[in-house]
Structure 1
Amino acid sequence: FVAEWRYEDVQEKVWSISPITEFCGIGKRMAARLKMSGIESIYDLAQADPYLLKHRFGVMGLQLFAHAWGIDRSFLGEKSQVAKEKSFGNSQVLPRDYARKDQIELVLKELSDQVATRLRNSNCQTECVSIFVGYSKGQVDGLGRSGWRKQLKIARSNNTKVLTEHVLKLFRENFIPGIDIRNLGVSFGKLVWDTTLQIDLFSPPEEQIINNQLDFLIDKIRQKFGFKALIHASSLLEGATAVNRSGLVGGHAGGNVGLGG
């Protein structure tokens, strides 16, 4: 006999487990401690503040919170299988010098979207986000650099929204106003096979699941009808390049790999 519970079943089946001591990892002593924090049911546990749970109960508090959302952290914590590919990336020589921060971020968002799509199409997730910024010819910053490259280790993901936020964080932390930019690049490395959805305990699980499903729906539409069949509204703004570049052959003249269609 095989029993199967999906994330959609959590509210109906997991949160209804009673008494609370029937839940994996909660004995009488833990139940008493939880009650002192106002937690008397699995529903209460799922709605609790994970930061507070970690503060009061340590790692066990986070594990119980994850279990309350149907997530088995012992499985998610296992060593990931490394993918054959070392990294995925797209780079672009901009059609002109870019000085406005908002327009530079717009291109970085588009690049992130493109590379995240390639990750999912290859059934991979990334644990390292990197960006490259190259200045216009002849320009250098106060450190004598003609550009810079930064990277950030992250919890593995292939979600466009999550990866874009990391890319923009890196850019905003290192952006130097007053210098024109002509080259941009985004790459995702330390790849692992996409075997499960990695849930961030500090963001609403429902939102993460919906974002994950939305990504794959967008991927399917683009695979069938082409990249331009479904684009972000921001790609129509001044400074955006994805729409024009989607017609390039093989990604030449701008690093447009992965946008064929």
Structure 2
Amino acid sequence: MSGSTLPGTGDDESPDRVVLHVDMDCFYASCERLREPALRGEPVVVGMGYEAGETIGAVATASYEAREYDVDSAQPISRAVERLPPVERPDLGSADDDRGHYRPVDMEFYQSVAGEVKAILHDCADTVREVSIDEAYLDVTDRTSWATVDAPASASGAAERRTLAEGLARHVRERIAREVGVPASVGVAPNMAAAKVASDHDKPDGLTVVPPGDVTDFLAPLPVEEIHGVGPVRASDLRELGIETAGDLASADPRTLQDRFGDRGRELYDRARGVDDREVTPTGLPKSLSRESSFAEATTDGEAMREKVRALAAAVAERARSKDALYRTIGIKVVTTPYDVNTRAESLSGPVDEPELVEEVALSLLEEFADSEVRKLGVRVSKLSFTAGEQASLDGFDGHESRGEAVVDGSTAEPDASENATAEPADRPTVGEDRSGQFSLEEFE
């Protein structure tokens, strides 16, 4: 999609970067609510080890309602069930206890939903850095600007006037909510560190905008642990130096900080002053490209399904061609009621750039679901190659390989690391560097 078609686009040539940090709110719990709408507004805990007979496990994420009972990510499951007994375990607690809804980790499903989110992010920005399954940085400098419009700011943060950047960020957040059905908080700032703090400022479902020139004032009153990179241990060390807030850190002697903490001390000093020169760098070439679209209501209309698949196939093939990408696998995603995610794929004998073939294979795979009630459809090409001259001859397609091969639907822009996923707390990002409430069980990188 051209940047000029997005809300918030301007022709301003401002040298200040516009960085978005998109943080999915309690992502695993949000995915479970997507699958079970009755869970909305209820305490939801996603984790391992709460089932009868199991004694070891951890909370992967807890909804904001569950956090009111002091249940939080990375917590031992035994402590969580003491504070909020599971509805699914009537043998625990007493009859008068408030209870929560516990669900096991379903990483394949979460990756599928994350894939839909990431497709939107890559559609709205030319440069996306995916940090984990539930957060990413976007550099949208070429698509918008810090120019103001004649209206007061409607987002939280330091901006007094509405900026074009706010419009684009709102567009991204609303697309995620509308097209995927899960909430996200978005921070907008001129650098990565400030955008990260901004996204955490007004959760859940928040939008915080911090224009250039306002970053230091925005950060100053925040507790020092709000600075990206300051965890509980480092915060305690800083307090020993009399540093309680980001403003205190920004006013400290950088030589003292460097003597005490090495280069990290100088880095935190700069971040507290709103200085962060890191560029948003992508995590690598895409491994797959996809397009998805929902029906207004679940349908069994076969022609409506085929029409949507044709449009999606054309969009995916065009996107692959625009990126000079060849593909070896063509697949579809079919979400049937209530929210069952089905994926099918067909492997080809060599890399191709053939839009007609994408449509042909996608329609063929769709036939399996002719009698199903369908909520959403998607088309994906994967096993991408960006080396010129690798295209296989169509003469080689006497028979396609692996029809109906089940695949994990997910990434539109980076490797699928699900085979390396682990549920061990040791894999959690450093405490204090990830305050999203999401205990990351795997990362895409």
TM-score scaled by length of structure 2: 0.24
Larger proportion of helix: 1
Over alpha carbons, which structure has the higher Rg?
2
TM-score scaled by length of structure 1: 0.40
